[in-house]
Amino acid sequence: MSVETVTNPEPATPETEPSEVVIETRNLRKVYRDFWGREKVRALNALDLEVRRGEIFGLLGPNGSGKSTTIKLLLGLLFPTSGQALVFDRDASDVEKNERIGYLPEESYLYRFLNAEETLDFYGRLFDMDAQTRRERVDSLIDMVGLEWAKRRQLREYSKGMTRRIGLAQALINDPELILLDEPTTGLDPIGTREMKDLIIKLRDQGKTVLMCSHLLADVQDVCDRIAILHQGDLKEMGRVDSLLTVKDVTQVQARGLSAEAEDEIREVISRHGGKLMAMDHPTSTLEELFLRIVRDSEERPGRRTVEHE
Amino acid sequence: MVVDELELLSFLEWLLPGGDGSEMKIGALGVFLLIVPALSATVAFVCYLFSVARHGPSEGFYTVARTVAAGVTDISHISPRRVWAMARLAINEAVRRRVLIVVAIFMLVLLFAGWFLDSGSEHPARLYISFVLTMTTYLALALGLLLSTFSLPNDIKNKTIHTILTKPVRQVEIVLGRILGFVLVGTAMLVVMGLGSYLFVRRGLSHTHTVESFERVEGVAGGQNENPVVWRGTLTSADRHTHTFEVHQNGEGQTDIQRGHWHRVRLVSKSEKDDKPVFAIGPPQGWLQARVPIYGGLMFLDRNGQSAQQGINVGKEWDYRGYIEGGSQAAAIWTFRGITEQAFPEQLSLELNLRVFRSFKGEIERGVLGSIYLSNPDSGAAMRSVPVSFEAKEFSIDEIVFGRSLDVIERDGIPREGDIFKDLVSKDGALNVIVQCSERAQYFGMAQGDVYVRSADAPFFMNFFKGYIGIWLQMVMVTAFGVMFSTFLNAAVAMLTTFSCVILGFRSEFVSDIRTGDLEGGGPIEATVRLLTQMNLSGEFSDQLVTKVVQFVDQGLRLLMSFTANILPNYNAFDTTDYVAYGFDIYGGLLSRNLTIGLVYTLAAALVGYFFLKTREVAA
């Protein structure tokens, strides 16, 4: 099965007015030097990127391609060797921009000697929130990530999934306009992954902008509007997911309730129009959906599995 | 105990220009205002040089300018709530890292120390107080060191700082918050340790005696004294000393002063049978005191009675005192000001801390005799009190009390009854005190602070508390420096560096001496060579090229050491333990001065730490 893809370079947004550019990098370069000033690693070469308001942007690439570096440059945790990184039209090292962003690092780097409530309260204070607002936000966020039952336990006792959820909560404590996620679904089980993806989509629906980087292709495909693919520090591809992945010259039809005669007729129509039938069969649901369905059923009816035969 | 003349300045005299004859004629504030711009410019220039090496001339300048501008913006936007959040975090961290163990160690050491401290020594009060204060100082410094140097490097290593730096926190708030948090923890520890120390000292010093023997004083007539001494006796020995005591007719009495303390003795009852009196001996008193001395200016008269610039130098190298010759007209004259009736309604109490130089042994059992009298500065020798003879006790303090009404001698040489304030104190409240040595060929040595008027004592507990403020200040500075170094060094190296700063701070005079060459043995490298080749301090090296190179490098190292030692705070100056132990009130001006200097150093360290943190790539 051959597939032709059509790449669209930076398209005009299909909607009416151009959205505001939230993140912009201009010729961003990052080179790690050793003590004597010689180049050690070329982490990022001349990256030009734009992220618009209200979209989910994915940075894709294998390990070591510069995804995390880009995010850290945007956050001001690293300083660019040359070029500019702008967030909300301000330089990345400007502290003021942090009021409007949230960041979920790869491993949730949180203080292990605090418990969940204290952690969120602490970060809330850093946003200069008054006590009342803090209290409400902390409670609602803990509720949202479903850690009500463990909120008094010190973080050192949390499992990885739980820490990641608290990390997400602290990223949202200030109700940010822009959220940066570094490998959000890496290391999560399928349920956690699904919840994370649902949350990301919900955030977009609330009007927020999300920039995430990942090497888990399926997750990025499910969630992102636009992606950029990096490899060894170079930008290889950028564009809308649907336009990048749409196979233009193949038509896909999914119909319910077709009899065998109907199928034959369709075969005939196709050959009559000079097309080549590539496949007519039952589509497969994804393993993710099967898994989630079984887990949901199991929670409702614990015990031995009920095997359903076709 | 040595009293430094510099310490006698009041706070404003020290701070503002026009100060009284000290080396800093422009006042400390003037020095500060001169140094800060000069130092900042130098530092900025050095940073510019580094930046040029990295980025090239114009880009380098731009980088430095941008950092400085960003710094100013950041500092003007400091939010107290955020600083407090960081401080709370630091406190949480310290507590959950079980820093309270330090207090436990302290208590443990105190418990065991009680066995080893000898309360029967010559000056037990001094011993106990010095011990607790010194130990508290070491523990507080260790606490400050450990708390401050591990925290930030751990944050950077564990990357928890990433989550923080992506919040709108300024680096200056991180640094200040941490310093504040650790200072608060340290303060709480100090309070606990302070209370524990105080109780320890009181308990360790307390002892009682019982009456060993007593007798009734015979032949007591009425006459002038309405309350004559009726009983005399001795007490049993406790803590290797004993007292004699006297009880007056009204049943109240006291013991003599031994080892710096005395007890109250009271006649409690007389048993009916045999008319034997029962006495109650009170707890020891008087050795936990805080004298408030009033110092005066010192002038000398040489052996012919002519005024001299300074006293005789008897050849003691380390002594800055001047000496007067006995059996001649040589005298030391102190002029005290502020002698008013309100301050001294009943008597004038003088304390003498003289040195004695014997040119022949003389009567070795007894102190050298001297005489002391008061005179009116306005009329000179024409109006003076009758000289009082005293025995100069070296290494302990003589107290001479002049009652308000005493005998005075005018020009005619006939003693009559007089009053200190009417006759001897001048119109502007000044009084002269003249000390002479009575024995020929013996000498008295004195410095300005050796004789003083004792005004009303300050409460000991306040002085103890002030001593603790000194310790607290040292801890604050160590914490600030520790946090500063930890912004760009890893934990262990930061700790070592801060520790070195403390050592250099305590020994800054030693370091200056090395630089000026007063101390033999050369600089660091030369000293190491001497050490390894087992050569003594004054041996000469052969004149080779190696020697010249080593000495040249050493010059540079010495300069660096002395530069560092001069910049660093002089911890010795903050150490007021001696004041408390020897029983002198810590002068208010001294405390204010130390607080100011400490605050300035802390802020400077915070600023430096901020810039290091800001220019650091934490994710690299």
Q: What is the pLDDT of residue B191?
A: 92
Whether B349 and B401 have beta carbons less than 8 Å apart is answered as yes
Question: B124 pLDDT exceeds 60?
Answer: yes
* CA A54 to each of CA A209, A213, A286, B440: distance values in angstroms, whole numbers, following the listed order: 4, 17, 28, 102
Closest by alpha carbon to B460, among B344, B295, B292?
A: B292
Other beta carbons less than 10 A from residue B539's beta carbon: 11
Confidence bin at B251 (pLDDT 50/70/90): confident
Percentage of chain B surpassing pLDDT 70? 92
Question: A255 pLDDT exceeds 90?
Answer: no
Return the residue of B nearest to A33 by Cα. Answer: B620
Within 8 A of A167 by CB-CB distance, chain B residues are: 163
A77 with B168: Cβ contact below 8 A: no
Q: What is the pLDDT of residue B8?
A: 62
**Shortest Cα distance, chain B CAs vs residue A176, angstroms:** 11
Indicate the DSSP class of residue B312: B
A71: left (phi over 0), alpha (psi -120 to 50) or beta: alpha
Question: A1 pLDDT exceeds 90?
Answer: no
Euclidean distance between CA atoms B114 and A194, whole angstroms: 67
**Picking from A260-274, B5-19, B134-148, which range would have the lowest pLDDT averaged per residue?**
B5-19
Q: Which residue is listed with tokens 């990641």? A: A164
Confidence bin at B517 (pLDDT 50/70/90): low
Whether B423 and B374 have beta carbons less than 8 Å apart is answered as no
B394: Cβ contacts below 8 Å, ≥ 6 apart: B354, B355, B356, B367
Confidence bin at B1 (pLDDT 50/70/90): low
**Picking from A139-148, A223-232, B367-376, B542-551, which range would have the lowest pLDDT averaged per residue?**
B542-551
Whether B480 and B601 have beta carbons less than 8 Å apart is answered as yes
Nearest-by-Cβ selection for A125 from B54, B85, B166: B85
Q: What is the pLDDT of residue B177?
A: 94
Q: In what order do the strands lie in the sheet with B211-216?
A: B211-216, B229-235, B244-248, B252-255, B262-270, B277-285
Other beta carbons less than 10 A from residue B138's beta carbon: 11
Q: For A153-176, what is each residue's pLDDT tens digit?
A: 888 898 888 888 899 999 999 999
* CA B134 to each of CA B471, B584, B595: distance values in angstroms, whole numbers, following the listed order: 9, 17, 20
Q: For B559-602, what is each residue's pLDDT tens digit?
A: 887 777 777 877 777 888 888 888 888 888 888 888 998 999 99
Q: How many pairs of residues across A and B have Cβ atoms under 8 Å apart? A: 80
| Domain ranges for chain B | 5-204+459-507+584-614, 211-290, 321-446
Nearest-by-Cβ selection for B163 from A32, A93, A105: A105
B166 with A107: Cβ contact below 8 A: no
Q: What is the pLDDT of residue B119?
A: 67
Within 8 A of A125 by CB-CB distance, chain B residues are: 81-82, 84-85, 88
3-state secondary structure at position B606: helix
Q: What is the pLDDT of residue B385?
A: 83
B520: Cβ contacts below 8 Å, ≥ 6 apart: B537, B538
CATH 2.60.120, applies to B321-446: yes
Q: Comparing B271 with A238, which gets the higher pLDDT?
A: A238
Nearest-by-Cβ selection for B619 from A78, A101, A128: A78
A128 with B82: Cβ contact below 8 A: yes
* CA B140 to each of CA B27, B54, B97, B569: distance values in angstroms, whole numbers, following the listed order: 32, 41, 17, 17
Structure tokens at B591: 């405390």
Mutation target to probe the A interface, by most A beta carbons within 10 A, among B166, B170, B178, B610 is B166
Give mean pLDDT, residues A94-99.
88
Q: What is the pLDDT of residue B9?
A: 66
Q: Comparing B112 with B483, which gets the higher pLDDT?
A: B483
Percentage of chain B surpassing pLDDT 90? 12
- Mean pLDDT, rounded, of chain B: 82
Return the residue of A nearest to B89 by Cα. Answer: A122
Mutation target to probe the A interface, by most A beta carbons within 10 A, among B72, B84, B167, B178 is B167
**Shortest Cα distance, chain A CAs vs residue B64, angstroms:** 14
Whether B605 and B498 have beta carbons less than 8 Å apart is answered as no
**Shortest Cα distance, chain B CAs vs residue A135, angstroms:** 15
Q: What is the pLDDT of residue B271?
A: 62
Cα angle B25-B28-B29, degrees, rounded to a multiple of 5: 110
B529: left (phi over 0), alpha (psi -120 to 50) or beta: alpha
Closest by alpha carbon to B574, among B501, B472, B500?
A: B472
Q: Identify the bridge partners of residue A230 per DSSP, sorted by sequence position.
A: A235
**Shortest Cα distance, chain B CAs vs residue A55, angstroms:** 21
Question: A5 pLDDT exceeds 50?
Answer: no
A99 with B168: Cβ contact below 8 A: yes
Nearest-by-Cβ selection for A77 from B70, B93, B162: B162
Nearest-by-Cβ selection for B168 from A75, A79, A126: A126
Question: A115 pLDDT exceeds 60?
Answer: yes
Give mean pLDDT, residues A61-66.
85
Whether B291 and B351 have beta carbons less than 8 Å apart is answered as yes
Question: A8 pLDDT exceeds 50?
Answer: no
Q: Comparing B379 with B327, which gets the higher pLDDT?
A: B327
Euclidean distance between CA atoms A292 and B70, whole angstroms: 51
Q: Comparing A281 with B394, which gets the higher pLDDT?
A: A281
Give mean pLDDT, residues B264-282.
76
Question: B320 pLDDT exceeds 90?
Answer: no
Give mean pLDDT, residues A12-18.
48
A109 with B620: Cβ contact below 8 A: no
Confidence bin at B346 (pLDDT 50/70/90): confident
Indicate the DSSP class of residue B250: T
Within 8 A of A93 by CB-CB distance, chain B residues are: 70
Return the residue of B nearest to A79 by Cα. Answer: B617
Percentage of chain A surpassing pLDDT 90? 34
B168 with A75: Cβ contact below 8 A: no
Residues of A with CB under 8 A from a CB of B: 32, 37, 72, 75-79, 93, 95-96, 98-99, 101, 103, 105, 107-111, 113-114, 118, 122-123, 125-128, 167, 170
Q: What is the pLDDT of residue A2?
A: 40
Question: A13 pLDDT exceeds 50?
Answer: no
A98 with B168: Cβ contact below 8 A: yes
Q: Which residue is listed with tokens 């614990």? A: A302
Within 8 A of B161 by CB-CB distance, chain A residues are: 109
Nearest-by-Cβ selection for A109 from B92, B160, B168: B160
Q: Where are the alpha helices (DSSP H) in A105-176?
A: 116-126, 131-144, 160-171
**Shortest Cα distance, chain B CAs vs residue A51, angstroms:** 19
Give mean pLDDT, residues B51-65.
79
Within 8 A of A114 by CB-CB distance, chain B residues are: 89, 92
Nearest-by-Cβ selection for A111 from B160, B617, B619: B160
Q: What is the pLDDT of residue B223?
A: 54
Question: A9 pLDDT exceeds 50?
Answer: no
Residues of B with CB under 8 A from a CB of A: 54, 70, 74, 79, 81-82, 84-85, 88-89, 92-93, 96-97, 158-170, 617-620
CA dihedral A197, A203, A209, A212 (to 10 degrees): -20
A109 with B89: Cβ contact below 8 A: no
Give the CA diameter of chain B: 106
Q: Comparing B184 with B579, which gets the higher pLDDT?
A: B184
Euclidean distance between CA atoms A105 and A170, whole angstroms: 11
Within 8 A of A170 by CB-CB distance, chain B residues are: 163
For residue A120, the one-letter residue type is L
Dihedral sign (CA B171, B175, B176, B177): positive
3-state secondary structure at position B430: coil
Q: What is the pLDDT of residue A4?
A: 39
Within 8 A of B163 by CB-CB distance, chain A residues are: 103, 105, 108-110, 123, 167, 170
Give mean pLDDT, residues B50-79.
82
Residue B435 phi/psi, 5° resolution? -120, 135
- How is B205-220 classified by DSSP, letter by letter? H-----EEEEEEPP--
Question: B55 pLDDT exceeds 70?
Answer: yes
Q: For A197-239, what is each residue's pLDDT tens digit?
A: 999 999 999 999 999 998 888 888 889 999 999 988 889 888 8
Structure tokens at A99: 């009021």
Question: B370 pLDDT exceeds 80?
Answer: yes
Within 8 A of B159 by CB-CB distance, chain A residues are: 105, 107, 109
Give mean pLDDT, residues B9-19.
71
A227: Cβ contacts below 8 Å, ≥ 6 apart: A57, A58, A59, A60, A220, A237, A238, A239, A241, A244
Question: B459 pLDDT exceeds 90?
Answer: no
A77 with B70: Cβ contact below 8 A: no
Whether A179 and A102 have beta carbons less than 8 Å apart is answered as yes
Q: Which residue is listed with tokens 């180049």? A: A39
To which H or E segment does residue B152 belong? helix B124-158
- Domains (range + CATH), chain A: 21-245 (3.40.50.300), 249-304 (no CATH)
Confidence bin at A6 (pLDDT 50/70/90): very low
